[in-house]
Amino acid sequence: MFHNLVTDFTTLLVTINPISVVPVFLGLTGAKSPAERRRIALRACLIATAILFFFLVVGQFLMEAIGISLPAFRLAGGLVLLTLGLRMIYGDVASRPAEGQASGDPTVFPLATPMLAGGGAITAIVILTDNYTFSLAEQAGTAIIMIVVMILSCLILVSAEPIQRLIGETGTNVIGRIMGLILSALAMQTLVTAVRSILPPGTIP
């Protein structure tokens, strides 16, 4: 159980990757007061939590309703996570908002989604709460871990300015690449687990 919680925490932390959101958050909220920044950070994290919780509860039911088996979703999800991890390693994940996005309210887009609750995080939360693999207690544990990660993400965004000054652009890039490497390893494990469930028992040790 403890091992699963550690895996859940690591997977969600690297897929949500709040450190990589810091430069984007500062770019989008640069003209706003500290109080407005805190309000935007809190609302963005609440909306992202709601999105992830929705997929935690009904994601697998939606897949089954449209005829997608869990092994197929695991394979697709592993590839998505691997692609995201490789992009993080090679620095191909956007760290700045597109031109013209700095005005208006960025709470829902792009902060809540796709920055915090993006495709990788949604894929991860569905895989980590597979109804056929994990009990209700384990899924509840994953939900709690998700909330903990989102609280941590909110604290990071609220402290975005001092964090950016402390670690700088180089620190952000280094952390992003380390998280990308961890995510790539987790993605490969997901792919191995999916292939093992399809092939005859004992084919893959």
pLDDT in tens, 21-72: 998 898 888 788 889 999 999 999 999 999 999 999 999 898 889 988 878 8
Neighbour count for residue 73 (Cβ, 10 Å): 19
* CA 60 to chain CA centroid, nearest Å: 17
Picking from 163, 183, 164, the residue whose alpha carbon sits closest to that of residue 118 is 183
List all residues 6 or more positions away from 149 whose beta carbon is below 8 Å from its beta carbon.
9, 12, 13, 16
Q: For 147-172, what is each residue's pLDDT tens digit?
A: 999 999 999 999 998 998 898 888 88
Query: How many Å apart are CA 191 and CA 205, to the nearest integer?
Result: 14
Asked if residue 44 lies in contact with residue 157, where contact means CB atoms within 8 angstroms, the answer is yes
- The sign one gets for the Cα dihedral 80, 157, 129, 138 is positive
pLDDT over 60 (residue 100): no
Q: What does the pLDDT read at residue 187?
A: 87
Query: Residue 203: inside a domain, yes or no?
Result: no
Query: Residue 205: inside a domain, yes or no?
Result: no
Which residue range forms the structural domain that includes residue 187?
2-198
Q: What does the pLDDT read at residue 92?
A: 67
Picking from 59, 30, 163, the residue whose alpha carbon sits closest to that of residue 119 is 59
Percent above pLDDT 90 for the chain: 41
Place of tokens 């760290």: 95
What pTM was computed for the model? Answer: 0.80
Query: Residue 108: inside a domain, yes or no?
Result: yes
Q: For 8-28, what is each residue's pLDDT tens digit?
A: 999 999 999 999 899 889 888
Query: Residue 124: inside a domain, yes or no?
Result: yes
Q: What does the pLDDT read at residue 108?
A: 94
Q: What does the pLDDT read at residue 156?
A: 96
Query: Residue 178: inside a domain, yes or no?
Result: yes
pLDDT over 60 (residue 102): no
Query: How many Å apart are CA 165 and CA 138, to the nearest integer?
Result: 39
Asked if residue 124 lies in contact with residue 11, where contact means CB atoms within 8 angstroms, the answer is yes
For the chain, the straight-line distance linking the first and the last C-alpha, in angstroms and rounded, comes to 22
> Rounded to a whole number, what is the largest CA-CA distance in the chain?
60
Q: What does the pLDDT read at residue 150?
A: 98
What total number of domains does the chain contain? 1
